[in-house]
């Protein structure tokens, strides 16, 4: 069963009469096992939306149902929260335990699992994020580098084995190689375990690389839902909501403008390389 968001509206009340609506009438279904990208300008409501997915925020109007569990209901919310793992922005700032292993174990322990299962999951999660347990498990979190801390924090959520993994800007502040490693790790995890990955980002290039479907948020409303191929073919629509197409898609568009017949589904490195190689054979 999917996560079903229906007519979700939410507004932050900042001091009395001033309330700005952060989300207005969002309707969206997150399917099992898909890689969904949520993209939007700063202040478009991305972070507000993901906090509804595990019930940290409750809708003002409308509803959020995770596998049929209504997140507005207190009891169902606690059950639903176990299905949805939410990784916040800069998750490394929430590390608090003495060792990496203990910190990763915090989530599973709160799920009430037995020690053997916890140890298994911690080891598994550390392996998934690419931190060798024998090297990192007993380290103090603050000794790790920035990227390692980020991964340890993500492992903390993975160890809870959520059915839906939601990440708010998981690559913010990382260098390109760090970004690619996290992206590939997420995609690999999705293929291996079949969990759905919902990723918030404002990098079009990252989205083009992994997302199967993309949701574009603009001023708290869904401006567009579709596959990357459909989306990146419409560079004007994206520019209208203040977003850029991925660099490769922009290049393809520029080539089209010059009269080179580049197909619309060329929007990332791989497809562009394939296209160029194909052309060389013709010439």
Partner 1 sequence: MFKDITLGQYFPGDSPVHKLDPRTKIIGMIAFIIIVFFVKKVMMFLPVFLFILIATYLSRVPMSYLWKSLKPLRFILIFMFILNLFVIGTGETLWRLGPLHITTGGIRQAVFITVRLILLVSGTSLLTLTTTPIGLTDGLELLLTPLKKVKFPAHELAMMMTIALRFIPTLMEEADKISSAQISRGADFETGNIVKRAKAMVPVLVPLFISAFRRADELAMAMESRCYHGGEGRTRMHVLRCGRNDFLAACALLLLFAVVLAGGLLL
Binding residues for partner 1 (CB under 8 A): 51, 54, 56, 81-82, 85-86, 88, 91, 93-96, 106-107, 109-111, 142, 156-157, 160
Closest to 162 measured CA to CA, from 256, 49, 45, 82: 82
Cβ(227)–Cβ(213) under 8 Å?
yes
Q: Which is nearer to partner 1, 54 or 218 (CB)?
A: 54
Burial of 74 (0-12, 13-18, 19+ CB in 10 A): exposed
User: Minimum distance between the CB of residue 121 and partner 1, rounded to whole angstroms?
Assistant: 13
CA-based radius of gyration for the chain: 20
Q: Minimum distance from CB of 182 to partner 1 (Å)?
A: 18
CB 246, CB 208: distance < 8 Å: yes
Question: What whole-number distance in Å separates Cα of residue 54 and Cα of residue 81?
Answer: 5
Nearer to partner 1, 86 or 262 (CB): 86
Token reading at 162: 């959520």
Q: Which is nearer to partner 1, 18 or 142 (CB)?
A: 142
In the complex, minimum distance from the CB of residue 212 to partner 1, in angstroms, rounded to a whole number? 24
CA distances from 264 to 240, 246, 254 (A): 19, 13, 12
Q: List strand residue ranges (DSSP E) for 31-80, in order.
A: 35-40, 61-66, 69-70
Please, which residue, 62 or 107, has the CB nearer to partner 1? Answer: 107
Q: How far is the CB of 126 from partner 1 (least distance, A)?
A: 16
Please identify, using beta-carbon distances, which residue of 28 and 86 lies nearer to partner 1: 86
Count CA atoms closer than 13 A to 16's CA, side-chain side.
Answer: 1
To partner 1, the closest distance from the beta carbon of 110 in angstroms equals 3
Q: Which is nearer to partner 1, 111 or 276 (CB)?
A: 111
State in angstroms the smallest separation of the CB of 56 from partner 1: 5
């Amino acid at each position: 069963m999917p996560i079903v968001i229906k007519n979700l509206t939410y507004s932050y009340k900042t001091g009395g009469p001033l309330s700005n609506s952060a989300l207005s009438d969002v309707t969206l279904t997150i399917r099992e096992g898909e890689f969904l990208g949520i993209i939007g300008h700063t202040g478009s409501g991305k972070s507000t939306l993901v906090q509804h997915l595990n019930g940290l925020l409750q809708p003002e109007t409308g509803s959020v149902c995770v596998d049929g569990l209504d997140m507005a209901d207190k009891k169902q919310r606690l059950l639903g929260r176990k299905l949805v793992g939410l990784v916040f922005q800069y998750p490394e700032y929430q590390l608090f335990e003495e060792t990496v292993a203990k910190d990763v174990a915090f989530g599973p322990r709160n799920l009430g699992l037995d020690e053997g299962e916890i140890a298994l999951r911690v080891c598994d999660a550390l392996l998934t994020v690419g931190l060798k347990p024998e090297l990192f498990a007993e380290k103090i979190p603050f000794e790790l580098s920035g990227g390692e801390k980020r991964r340890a924090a993500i492992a903390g959520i993975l160890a809870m084995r959520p059915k839906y993994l939601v990440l708010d800007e998981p690559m913010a502040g990382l260098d390109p190689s760090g970004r690619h490693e996290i992206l590939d790790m997420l995609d690999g995890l999705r293929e291996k375990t079949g969990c759905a990955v919902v990723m918030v980002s404002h990098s079009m290039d990252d989205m083009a690389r992994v997302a199967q479907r993309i949701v574009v948020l603009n001023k708290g409303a869904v401006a567009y839902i579709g596959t990357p191929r459909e989306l990146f073919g419409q560079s004007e629509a994206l520019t209208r909501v203040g977003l850029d197409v991925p660099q490769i898609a922009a290049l393809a568009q520029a080539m089209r403008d010059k009269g080179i017949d580049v197909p619309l589904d060329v929007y990332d490195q791989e497809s562009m390389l394939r296209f160029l190689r194909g052309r060389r054979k013709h010439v």
